[in-house]
């Protein structure tokens, strides 16, 4: 089996496992052993990958060929600051129905299992991307 | 305008701003750094890398388990 084929097979198996875990997570309720277990499995898999890659981690921080001109990063900081400010303002205001936080928006959205499964899958994919970046 | 409508509008504007920034950063010749490049630069420091991974873990635990 070539490296490329092995890489593709690993990606397919990983995606299948992530979809399975997401379906399981969507069926759980927070503050129950099932929710703890499925979340811990996701965290454990990423922690394992971090440990495996730790020694051979080589970071290449180069210039993006699509960005010949110096790219600005401060708009991201401004967005993050605005998000934090709105979250804090909402958190310390009430009632929650008038001032929703990210958590309460998430709770509203995940009344549907498919949405919760999509969030969980997105979280797992983000973790995998962070480890492989 | 009610407080609820104002909150919804602000969250919507932030979401739209984030999506627009992602789209702009992927345009050829854009002056906005891509999130992936930004994360790679932050993660060049091992301590920052651990902070990013631990933050990811906390987000998952907060939203899905607790």
- The pLDDT > 90 percentage for chain A reads 65
Contacts of A101 in chain B (CB under 8 A): none
Number of compact structural domains in chain B: 2
Dihedrals phi, psi of A56, to nearest 5 degrees: -100, 20
> Over chain A, what is the mean pLDDT?
88
**Contact across the interface for B38 and A130, Cβ inside 8 Å:** no
> What is d(CA A27, CA A8) in angstroms, rounded to the nearest whole number?
29
Together in a domain, B41 and B28: no
Kindly state the DSSP code that residue A70 receives in the 8-state scheme.
Answer: P
Together in a domain, B1 and B28: yes
Residues facing B32 on adjacent strands: A72
Q: What is the pTM of this model?
A: 0.83
Together in a domain, B18 and B41: no
Together in a domain, B1 and B26: yes
Number of compact structural domains in chain A: 1
**Contact across the interface for A99 and B7, Cβ inside 8 Å:** yes
> What is d(CA B60, CA A63) in angstroms, rounded to the nearest whole number?
32
Domain that holds residue B16: 1-32
The better pLDDT of the pair A63, B25 is held by B25
> Over chain B, what is the mean pLDDT?
91
Domain that holds residue A13: 3-55+83-132
For position B2, what pLDDT does the model report?
A: 86
For position B16, what pLDDT does the model report?
A: 96
For position A91, what pLDDT does the model report?
A: 93
Q: Give kind and range of the element (H or E) at residue B47.
A: helix B46-60
Together in a domain, B28 and B1: yes
**Contact across the interface for B34 and A131, Cβ inside 8 Å:** no
Together in a domain, B43 and B28: no
Asked if the structure places residue A103 within a domain, the reply is yes
Interface ipTM above 0.90 = no
Q: Closest by alpha carbon to A127, among B20, B22, B61?
A: B61
Together in a domain, B4 and B27: yes
The answer, yes or no, to whether residue A39 has pLDDT greater than 80, is yes
Of the listed ranges A19-23, A58-62, A117-121, the least confidently predicted one is A58-62
Together in a domain, B4 and B22: yes
What's the length of chain A? 133
Interchain CB contacts (distance < 8 Å): A and B? 116
Kindly report, residue by residue over A58-107, the tens digit of the pLDDT. Answer: 655 555 555 556 688 899 999 999 999 999 999 999 888 899 999 999 99
For position A90, what pLDDT does the model report?
A: 94
Asked whether the beta carbons of B56 and A39 are under 8 A apart, the reply is no
> What is d(CA A102, CA A105) in angstroms, rounded to the nearest whole number?
5
The answer, yes or no, to whether residue B30 has pLDDT greater than 90, is no
């Amino acid at each position: 089996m070539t490296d490329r084929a092995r890489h593709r097979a690993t990606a397919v198996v990983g995606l299948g496992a992530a979809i399975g875990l997401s379906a399981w997570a969507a069926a759980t309720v927070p503050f129950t052993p099932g929710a703890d277990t499925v979340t811990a499995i996701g965290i454990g898999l990423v922690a394992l990958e971090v440990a495996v890659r730790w020694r051979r981690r080589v970071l290449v921080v180069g210039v993006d060929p699509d960005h010949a001109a110096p790219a600005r990063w401060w708009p991201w900081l401004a967005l993050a600051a605005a998000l934090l400010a709105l979250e804090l303002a909402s958190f310390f205001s009430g009632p929650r129905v008038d001032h929703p936080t990210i958590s309460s928006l998430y709770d509203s959205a995940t009344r549907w299992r498919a949405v919760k499964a999509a969030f969980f899958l997105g979280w797992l994919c983000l973790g995998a991307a962070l480890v492989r970046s | 305008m009610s407080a609820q409508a104002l909150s919804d509008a602000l969250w919507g504007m932030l979401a739209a701003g984030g999506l627009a920034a992602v789209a702009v950063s992927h345009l050829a010749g854009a002056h906005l750094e891509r999130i992936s490049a930004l994360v790679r630069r932050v993660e060049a420091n091992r301590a920052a890398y651990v902070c990013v991974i631990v933050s990811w873990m906390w987000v998952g635990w907060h939203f899905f388990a607790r």
